[in-house]
A and B are shown apart, each in its own frame.
Chain A
Amino acid sequence: MDVMPKWAEVVLVPLISLLLAAILSGLVILAIGEDPIAALKLMIDGALGSTYGWGYTLYYATNFMFTGLAVSVAFHARLFNIGGEGQAMLGGLGVALACLFIPWPHWSLGLLGAIVLAGAFGAIWAAVPAYLQAKRGSHIVITTIMFNFIAAAVLNYMLVNVLRPKGAMDPATARFPEAVHLPTLHDILAPIGISFSKAAPANVSLLVAIVACVLIWLLIWRTKLGYEIRAYGHSESAAKYAGISPVKITMIAMIISGALAGMMAINNVMGEAERLVLNATEGAGFIGIAVALMGRSHPLGVFIAAILFGFLYQGGAELALWTSIPRELIVVIQALVILFTGALDNMVRMPLERIFLALRKGGN
């Protein structure tokens, strides 16, 4: 029997970890001579106070849903995919190729094509480390880190030497044709009478991300494959004994993970920038780690954590605009969240377990 009730495990531990991260972030803001309460107010106002703010919050959240889900699926098979960043970069390349070289008649078909190509590119970029882990025993964390750097070099090469239009100075592709411009939330909500900011980048990809959350939930908890992935994650030897092939599960989990990370590109490349630029991912692949840890690798948790991080991102941008607090504050908060919900998990859990144990003894 578990020491702690389930609600404590699922809600209390992450909440306390989050609280610790928030308190430390507040202290950091105090230490650099700013007012944490005023900063929080400004963030809430900037990120949630208008449909413009919401539009940015949801735009960032869409990125993080994809990368968070990517890290989660790998986590379920006890694989740590640090390569979301590189996979998302390659996904961007897939989206750019789909949008630039195929004359789509309508954005919806273009979106489907972009999803397929972005997913395929991301999946391939994850499949190589997965194969090396499954067949050659090379540690997936190291190889995915290396693949991030290789992806950056590939993208740099493609943008500077291949995809850059003639005469253009900056390393970026040409603008995507009008036909593949995705409808923004403004376009979607206007027909049903809700006015939403026109300038904000949140777009139809958000709905794709939500569908992805549901599908991943179905996959992990309602299918045989999901069961096998979880079984493998809990105990490799038990899974092997039950006839589950480690090679197959490692490959499949990583391919799904890579495809999800790659699909992020429909949001940032196709939906927002409408061309592929260097550093299009802006670290979203790494934020996926924080999102997955905070969301306890559950799609619903990932959804909520992604929106929280979307809020932090947009709020942080507002802070950088109006105060002297640089944007890097968000990186610090992200680090603290990863530290407390991921690495120092037991620091919160051990004392809690002791408390619950004492309570139970007292009850008897």
Chain B
Amino acid sequence: MDFFTLIQILDATVRLAIPLLLACLAGLFSERAGIFDIGLEGKMLAAAFFSAAIASMTGSVWIGLLAGIAASLFLSGIHGLASITFRGNQLISGVAINFLAAGMTVLIAQSWFSQGGRTPSLSGAERFNPINFPGALTTTNEVKAASPLMQVYSELLSGHSLLVYVALLTVPMTWWLLYRTRFGLRLRAVGENPAAVDTAGVSVVGLRYAAVAICGILCGIAGAYLSTALQAGFVKDMSAGRGFIALAALIFAKWRPWHALYATFLFGLFQALELRPDVIEAVIGMKVQGQFLGALPYIMTVVILAGFVGKAIPPRAGGEPYVKER
């Protein structure tokens, strides 16, 4: 394997890891506040559809992005209503949201576009297009011939869409918000011991709704990225289990922002390698089944959960509705 192939794989890793990262951070906010969210997948899917659909109708990817975030926030609202206000089962609510998104996206897509559950393909201003850094080479042949440093600059660092850089920025922002602000302290506290937060005179309900809303916004961006940056348009079930991989990454990262970055990039690397079986064969000298690589994030999560490689302890009040003492 030459250096350029490595750079190509890392480049693919970045592109595939971004939706995982955004969804993982979304889950992090929600679960740190004590609200389990297995509906990440559904929120991403709904956002992917509405971003692509509205971008295609208005010709502006920015309006599409807003529509995607709005759709994701709407589902977050349902989740909040079910799990915070009506103290229902958060897991069941998440399952319902996943199915709601899977069904409604196809139903609406068919009704609006009649193209078998997809949106028209997007082009030009309807998409988030690659941003090329100054001086970066753009064609594959040029990059291949350039020096290693130039290859890294042109292929790996440059040429991603705006949302990639935004997603990378959300990692330090999440860290800062959670560990350096009063809001973050309260948010973490409400996931560990809501009664204490309540006693301090801070609204548990308000904090949890805020966390669920942030989760919705991030899932919205993740979905918009899928349909308007990674691909050019929405197709049925395009989130393809990414919400669950993000959930796995969240456990892998033990609910910490920087570790979420590492975990999602690791899982992104698996996805990138799954697309390049020739490279794996060349590197380790034997054929690895694609199915095995695809299942690896899930297997690793089970191993981590089992506590064989460091124990993953979730926020203590996670999954339990808070009932104010009377």
Mark A residues whose CB is within 8 Å of B: 28, 31-33, 80, 82, 132, 136-139, 141-143, 145-147, 149-150, 152-154, 156-157, 160-161, 286, 289, 293, 324-326, 328-336, 338-339, 342-347, 350
Contact = CB atoms under 8 A, between A and B. Distances in A.
Given A80-B92, A154-B295, A342-B93, 20 more contacts: A28-B104, A138-B305, A138-B307, A141-B91, A146-B301, A147-B302, A153-B292, A289-B92, A326-B107, A328-B106, A332-B103, A332-B107, A335-B100, A335-B102, A335-B103, A338-B92, A338-B99, A345-B86, A345-B88, A347-B86
Contacts of B81: 344, 347
Contacts of A339: 78, 82, 93, 96-97, 100
Contacts of A150: 295, 298-299, 302
Contacts of B111: 31-33, 324
Contact of B108 (A32, A145, A324, A345): A32
- CB-based closest 5 A-B pairs: A331-B103, A343-B93, A335-B99, A138-B305, A332-B103
B81 to A, nearest CB: 7
Interface in B96-123: 96-100, 102-104, 106-108, 110-111, 114, 117
Given A141-B38, A286-B95, A331-B99, A326 B87 contact: no
Contacts of A146: 244, 248, 298-299, 301-302, 305
B31 to A, nearest CB: 11
Nearest to B88: A343
Nearest to B245: A149
B294 interface: yes
A103 to B, nearest CB: 30
B212 interface: no
Contacts of B90: 343
Nearest to A324: B110
A196 B32 CA distance: 57
A329 B95 contact: no
23 contacts: A28-B104, A82-B95, A136-B305, A141-B38, A142-B251, A145-B38, A146-B244, A146-B248, A150-B302, A152-B295, A328-B106, A328-B117, A329-B103, A335-B96, A335-B97, A336-B100, A338-B92, A338-B99, A339-B82, A343-B82, A343-B93, A345-B86, A346-B86
Contacts of A342: 88-89, 92-93, 95-96
Chain B interface mostly: helix
- Chain B CB count within 10 A is highest, among A31, A32, A142, for A142
A344 B95 CA distance: 13
Given A161-B289, A334-B99, A28 B78 contact: no
B103 A328 contact: yes
B77 interface: no
Contacts of B292: 153, 157
Given A324-B110, A338-B95, A344-B81, A149 B307 contact: no
Given A326-B117, A339-B96, A153 B295 contact: yes
B91 A80 contact: yes
A343 B96 contact: yes
A153 B294 contact: yes
A320 to B, nearest CB: 10
B247 interface: yes
A296 to B, nearest CB: 14
Contact of A132 (B97, B289, B302): B302
Contacts of B87: 346
B314 interface: yes
Interface string B247-275: 11001000000000000000000000000
B305 A132 contact: yes
B88 A344 contact: yes
Given A137-B307, A142-B305, A332-B104, A286 B91 contact: no
Contact of B241 (A149, A329, A332): A149
A136 B99 contact: no
B13 interface: no
A157 B288 CA distance: 11
